[in-house]
Amino acid sequence: MIRAIIIDDEKPFINTLRATLQNSEDVMVVGEARSVSSGVTLVNETEPDLVFLDIQMSDGTGFDLLQKLDRRDFRVIFITAHDHFAIEAFKFSAMDYILKPLISDELYRAIEKVRQSMEKDKINLQLSVLMDNLNEMSRDKKRIILREAETMHIIQLDEILWCEADGSYTVFYLTKQRKIMVSKHLKEFEDYLSPNGFFRAHRSHLVNLNKIRKFDRSDGGIIYLQENVALPISVRKKERLAEMLNSMQI
């Protein structure tokens, strides 16, 4: 049985979430709080397995609450309405979140992820990456968690040379001739790596712009990356890449 608590300052939302969770046979709500201060007390008193945690509350944020805790060995499903920066951080850290207003299918998918991964060391790792990314605006210092089989890799964005589609998988090619294969489509990574200096140069390649050392527009177009890597570029992407590189003054 997963022992859960809800920390949110909107009572109607708490009631809706409680009612929806009644359909989950292995999730039991053991408490609720409506502020950061009362939430800290509730966590310490109940020692939950899972916390549904609102981002914005009347006396602070869910991140403030996490900072005040001595123990963070529980899963967190964040609750948010519109914080796009926070959502980006969740994706990079592989943390789960649900949006207001509540959609039951999204809730059940998040809970299923919790069922599959309750290891406390992984929880602390993900929370650490999340907090670092929320506090660090520089793209070069941002980190992403990549899951490979039973292993979680913490990778700085500046270590990534390019990402390559391999069917329903994505292969990350890293500096020092390392690579990691992840069971997600390239499009999913494109959605949140593109705002952080990556460019979809080809249907199979997502390139780190900071790793380009030469762009040859002749003979179809070739991108040369650091570490002697040469990649093709789609004809229709050549002009856009040239514009982006010019804006970077490369």
Residues 123 and 12 grouped into a single domain: yes
Confidence of residue 175 (pLDDT cuts 50, 70, 90): very high
Which structure tokens are listed for 119? 């290891």
For 61-95, b where at least 16 C-beta lie within 10 A, e where not — what string?
Answer: bbbebbeeeeebebbbbbbbeebeebbbbbbbbbb
**Cα separation, 78 vs 62, whole angstroms:** 8
Nearest residue to 77 (alpha-carbon basis) of 109, 46, 40, 125: 109
Residues 102 and 198 grouped into a single domain: no
Residues 129 and 70 grouped into a single domain: yes
Residues 85 and 117 grouped into a single domain: yes
Can you give the CATH number for the domain in which 196 is found?
A: 2.40.50.1020
Residues 116 and 163 grouped into a single domain: no
Strands 60-61 and 56-57, bridge-based pairing: antiparallel
**Range of the structural domain that residue 162 is part of:** 139-247
Q: What is the pLDDT of residue 110?
A: 86
Q: Which amino acid is at 52?
A: F
Each residue's pLDDT tens digit, 17-30? 999 999 888 899 99
Which structure tokens are listed for 3? 């022992």
What mean pLDDT is predicted for residues 219-237?
91
CA distance from start to end of the chain: 56
Neighbours of 27 (CB within 10 A): 19
**Cα separation, 103 vs 108, whole angstroms:** 9
Q: Picking from 30-34, 54-58, 93-97, which range would have the lowest pLDDT averaged per residue?
A: 93-97
**Residue 250 pLDDT exceeds 50:** no
- pTM beyond 0.85: the answer is no
Residues 190 and 209 grouped into a single domain: yes
Can you give the CATH number for the domain in which 75 is found?
A: 3.40.50.2300
Residue, of 134 and 168, whose pLDDT is higher: 168
Residues 73 and 87 grouped into a single domain: yes
Q: What is the pLDDT of residue 140?
A: 55
**Cα separation, 119 vs 105, whole angstroms:** 24
Residues 240 and 152 grouped into a single domain: yes
Residues 56 and 108 grouped into a single domain: yes
Residues 127 and 243 grouped into a single domain: no
Each residue's pLDDT tens digit, 176-213? 999 999 998 999 899 878 888 899 999 999 999 999 99
Burial class (CB in 10 A: 0-12, 13-18, 19+), 142: buried
Residues 100 and 159 grouped into a single domain: no
**Cα separation, 96 vs 76, whole angstroms:** 7
Residues 104 and 150 grouped into a single domain: no
Q: Given 120, 135, 150, which residue is the final one in a domain?
A: 135
Domain count, the chain: 2
